[in-house]
Amino acid sequence: MEPCNKTHILNFLLLGLSEEPKLQALIFGVFLSMYLITVFGNLLLILTVSSDPQLHTPMYFFLSNLSFVDICFTSTTIPKMLWNIQTQSEVITYAGCITQIYFYILFATLDDILLSVMAYDWFVAICHPLHYTVIMNPRLCGLLELMSWIVNAMYFLLHTLMVLRLSFCPDLEIPHFFCELYQLVQLASSDAFLNSMMMYLAALLMVGGPFAGILYSYSKIVSCICRIPSIQGKYNAFSTCVSHLSVVSLFYCTSLGVYLSSAATHSSHSSATASVIYTVVTPMLNPFIYSLRNKDIKRALNTFYFRPG
């Protein structure tokens, strides 16, 4: 690619999922429906947890935060996509693209870290039930949440600022429905070696680290469950963390599937299509997974819906 002067950049062009005009109305309707379901589903879960004193525990505190992050995560990409379809425009400003990249990777990584923290919460609840309230005290829960936000915000601010050093051609076409960091770095007209190394480092620290924590927590949980003498006891212990395990599997399997399919096909369109799963479908399904498999949530939902007055 020929070197281009970054100072002349006004816009990027998001090509979206399809350039076929006949499909735009269908794509708009499907994504608007999924976005509304995601927002209202997760918002309802937050309201349910906050309105029921019996759910004011570390487990549901982190679940509420996960729902809030899921709303923000989806909101970084889908509204802009819907706006572009509605206005029949592919334009996103340079500043808008950089901003979208920052908040996208921030909320995606917060999702990852919260799932790791929730796995630790389950580990303490199952393996150290007598010390649970002492270990998972409100101060520790708040500190874990605060540190997750601060560390991610500062680290990915640096990560995003490094994109500003790259040069791009004006009206650059991005074969995606949002500004993805990997796509943008690949399309840069200047040397992006340092950015690529930073991406690998971020993946190792901010994705690999929490995933290793989840694996460690569940290895201890499985070991603890195996020592329970009765089959019913094992079933009860395991069933308590099925919802979280389902969300973890969905999040990591879809994310891994996106990058494996992208690497295998070398197709940007395939990558964009596969990205829909973890950017839209997974946040939409999370509240349903927790609601359908959790008796406390179902009880609280019934109370929230049918309480008098």
pLDDT digits 0-9 by tens, 113-155: 999 999 999 999 989 988 999 999 999 999 999 988 998 888 8
Helix axes 295-306, 21-51, angle to 10 degrees: 90
Q: Which residue has the higher pLDDT, 266 or 169?
A: 169
Q: Domain count of the chain?
A: 1
Helices (H), the chain: 21-51, 58-75, 78-87, 94-127, 132-135, 138-161, 181-186, 193-202, 209-226, 231-239, 242-265, 268-276, 282-292, 295-306
pLDDT band at 259 (very low <50, low <70, confident <90, very high): low
For residue 139, the model assigns a pLDDT of 93
Residue-range definition of the domain harbouring residue 250: 6-306
Residue 1 falls within a domain, yes or no? no
> Does 283 map to a domain?
yes
Please tell me the predicted confidence (pLDDT) of residue 69. 94
- 191 inside domain: yes
User: What does the pLDDT average to over 225-240?
Assistant: 83
pLDDT of residue 36: 96
- Per residue in 53-80, pLDDT (tens digit) is 888 889 889 999 999 999 999 999 999 9
* pLDDT at residue 201, as a whole number: 83
Determine the pLDDT at residue 240: 78
pLDDT digits (tens, 9 = 90+) for 23-44: 889 999 999 999 999 999 999 9
* Residue 123's CATH number: 1.20.1070.10
Q: What is the mean pLDDT of the chain?
A: 84
